[in-house]
Every structure is written in C-alpha cells, then in structure tokens.
Amino acid sequence: MNEPKFTIVIPVYNPGEMLRRTIESVLHQTETSWELFCVDDGSTDASIEIMKAYAAKDPRIRYFPFEGDKTHHPRERKLREARGKYTFLCDHDDCMHPQLLAYAAWALETKGADFVDFGYFVNHAKTMPAFTRIDDFESQAYLFPKNNYKYLKPIGKWCLQMTFWSFVTQTAYVRNAHFTYGMELPPVLEILAQVKHPMLSLAQLYAYSVFEGSMARSALSLRYAKACCRDLRTSCELFDYGRKGRREDWHWVRTTSIARNLKYYLNWCLRSEGTVAPEDYEACARFLANEFAFFRKQGCLSLRDCGLRKYLRFSGFIRKWGGSADGNDKAGGIRLVNFLDVPESLQQETRLWRNSPSVQKYFRIPGITPEMHQGWLASLKRANPRSVAFIIEYDGEPIGVTYFHSIDYDKRFADWGLYLYRTDLRGKGVGSGVLNQILSYAREVLKMKRLYVDIMEGNVPSRSLCIRRGFVETGEKDGDFIRYVCELTEA
C-alpha cells in the first residue's frame, strides 16, 4: 500500500450526528492521498457507530476505540501510528474546505514550506457550510524567508492563528508534541519552535462550528478551566527557546496569545452564569479570577485591546470573585470611584491637587477657592446633575480626578476633563485607561451622543491621546485651548 501524503486526526467525544458532516468534508477533499484517524475518547452516543460505518466503507478511514486512557490525549496516543508525511488536526464537529489538503500540498511540496497556516470562518449552522473555490493559491499566500521569525507577529493582513485546525505541517514536528485536555497553546508553541520556513495564507479553508452543543459552547467545566490555565502557565516558559534573534518575537507570542486565550475563558465564564450549577460556576469563577491576577503579575495580560464593554465586565467580574487587579498593565489597574463615595477628607484634598502648579497650568481658571469647591460638591448631589466626577485610583491609591460637566440630558452631550496629581504616572498609559472607561460611561450610562473636551494647544500628549480615541477638532479655539468632539456610537 502506498504511503498517504496526509494524516488527519480527529479526536471524538459525543459529537453525535455532527460527526458525519466532519467526515464527509474529508471525503470531499480534491487531494485524495490521505488517511483519517477517528480516535474515540469515551463517547456514549451514536458517534461510535458512525465511525465504524465509515471505516467499513473506506479503507483510508481508521476507527480507534476508546482504550480507557484519559491520562494522554487521543491525538497524542495515535500520532505515533501516522504514516503521512504531513499532519492536520481537526475537531469532531468542524468542516474542511474541499481544497484544504490540495492547498497544503501545493505549499509544502512546490513552494518549500514546512508549515502552512490558513484562515477560517465561524459556522453557526449545523449543515455543511458553503465554501468558495480557490483558483489562485499564490495570490492569497506569503512564504516567509527561511528562519525569519517575523511570522510570529501580525504583519499587515498576515496573522498566525495559533490553533491546531488552522495549519498543516510535517508529521515529525507534531508527533512529539505534548497534547493535553486543556488548551492548544503549549503544543502549538512546541510545534512552532521547529518551524523553519512557514507560509501564511488568507484563504479560509476551515469552518469552525459555534452553536449550542458544539465544542466551542460546551458547558462550563472547572476541570477544563483548570487544565487551560495550567497550560497557559506552561506557555509562559515555552516561548523562549534560546534561539538567536527569536527572543523578542517569542515574547510577543507569549503575551498576546496568553492574553487572548485567558480573555476568551473569562468571557466564556461570564456567558455561562445561570446555565450551570451555582456551586460549579462559583468555583470556576473564583479560580479564573485568581488566574487573571497571576498572569497580570507575570506581565502576560493586557486588557487594553479587549474592547470597552468587555473591559468593564471583566473588571467587575474580577472584583466580585476575588482576583487582584494589581499588575504591570497601567490601564488594567485603574478604577474610577464616584466622587460622592469617597471620604470627605479626600473630597477636600482634591482642591489642593487642582491648585498645585503641575495641574493648574493646564486650566483656564488658575485656582479654586474653598467656596467654589463647596459649590461644585453640592452640584454633584442634585438630581440629574450637570456634573459627575470620579476619583482615579491606581493600585488602590487616589492619583487624580476625572469628570463630566455641562451635561445636557436632552441634547445628549457633555464636556469632559481629567487631571493626574501623580505626575510620575503621566505618559504611562493611565490617561488612556481612564478615557476608555469614560467613553463607555458616557455612552452606556449617561446615554450621551457627543463628548467635548478643551485641551491646551501645548499639551501635545493629551491632544494625541484624544485624537487616537476618535476626537476631532470642532474649529473652535479660546485663547490657547482647542475644542475637540467625539461622536459616540451606540454600544
């Protein structure tokens, strides 16, 4: 018997009838030199009979019954028997593009690549997805020079996916990887450490299933969450293989991939509240909150790019379930406390902050008298106040004030401002973190449509920050102060 070109490995655990769709997508491959391993992992549904039936019809399909071994992942158990030169790892409820293997063969055999990573799309339906035929492989691929590790970072439109089902590579690279029941990142890093000549492609060659009952929507499991976080901790050490010129790129892989994956599990936990037993949810929530704190301290997690709504949800989740907000991420360690909820002594102290030379130089009014301050405090307590203010806390320490003023609830606009009394934290990302929360509060709580701010012309860092967050000049100028506006879209 001729040796197959590709080995496809599918671990199977109770996918039911969805398994048929996955196997059919393999049978529809235009590249026919393959073997398929269907490795049962203790299924109790109809999937066992489905695997047996397909194996009986096509000699390229092999069914491996469950051996009672949960200490080793089914992928790891059977990769030793792979005969193909190249390996693809597929999930039991997803689908392959009919040209996936043909595309991989072109990249690996005619272009000299030893690893080809491709795109995917999310499929919410339980039917076979509609794939688009690819006529020009070359136009959608980029082959990186040998031993050039820039592929580890996004470059323009090219981005490494970091998932099993997004790449095909040499079987020798995969055979010795250590697979677990947790997440995919550690074995992916082990495989990537051996790659010398990768190709990244924009072609969407895989349909990732997301629907009730799919692998991506499995019920919350504390055991699974612990396994994922354990593997994330392992990944903290795997990124640095001591290869010259690779350290910086692998550090990016560690920080970005761990951040992305842990944020995924945090969001998964948030979505699962009310769908699992309360005691199971509480145990998992507390565990994830503390893992969050661990990775923050390791410098492996940043919330700056996770989106405003998720950032606020995560912050509340961490505080509720006991995770510390301490860490190296300035934006992630920020908390806004309503001005009326802090001690009166702190309320009065802020007037001294505002009148300090390092702060007042950025304001039109040079100093605030005690009478002015008391009048402003009284205005915060009114019904539908025209001003709302917050103490900015960083690592639990008050460091400044941010506030809305001139709020118009009918026309739905307001002015905004902030100042940091702690001058050593200026330019460290604190202002960016505050503005993220302010924009979200203005849109979701105050229901504003526009937010204005006046910035001194010479205050270039503040002007640059606001422009990056969508503020534009209105064309109005009052002395040295330029007026900016941000149109707030609906969340």
Instruction: Give the helix, strand, coil percentages of the chain, each rounded to 5.
Output: 40, 20, 35
Please tell me the distance from the alpha carbon of residue 15 to that of residue 46, in angstroms, as a whole number. Answer: 8
Lowest mean pLDDT of 16-25, 101-110, 431-440, name the range. Answer: 431-440
CA atoms within 13 A on the CB side of 21: 22
Question: Quick check: 241 pLDDT over 50?
Answer: no
Q: What is the pLDDT of residues 307-347, one digit of tens each?
A: 545 656 666 677 677 654 433 344 446 788 889 888 888 88
- The values of phi and psi at residue 476, to 5°, are -95, 140
Q: What is the pLDDT of residues 120-174, one digit of tens each?
A: 888 888 888 889 999 989 888 888 888 777 777 666 666 777 788 889 999 999 9
Beta strands in 252-365 (DSSP E): 334-338
- DSSP label of 128: P
- What global pTM score does this model have? 0.60
Please tell me the distance from the alpha carbon of residue 271 to that of residue 275, in angstroms, as a whole number. Answer: 8
Confidence category of residue 222, pLDDT binned at 50, 70, 90:
low
Confidence category of residue 405, pLDDT binned at 50, 70, 90:
very high
> How much is the CA Rg of the chain, to the nearest whole Å?
27
Q: What is the pLDDT of residue 160?
A: 76
Angle formed by the axes of helices 460-468 and 430-444, to 10°?
A: 50
- DSSP label of 144: P
DSSP-assigned beta bridge partners for residue 420: 400
Please tell me the distance from the alpha carbon of residue 29 to that of residue 408, in angstroms, as a whole number. Answer: 61
More reliable by pLDDT, 24 or 177: 24
Q: What is the pLDDT of residue 205?
A: 94
Q: What is the pLDDT of residues 263-272, one digit of tens each?
A: 767 777 776 6
Q: What is the pLDDT of residue 122?
A: 85
Q: How do 115-123 and 198-209 pair as beta strands?
A: parallel
Please tell me the distance from the alpha carbon of residue 191 to that of residue 185, in angstroms, as a whole number. Answer: 10
Q: What is the pLDDT of residues 18-46, one digit of tens each?
A: 999 999 999 999 999 999 999 998 889 99
Mean pLDDT of the chain: 81
- DSSP label of 219: P
Q: What is the pLDDT of residue 296?
A: 66
| 415 touches 406 (CB < 8 A) | yes
Q: Exposed, middle or buried, 431 (CB in 10 Å: 0-12/13-18/19+)?
A: buried
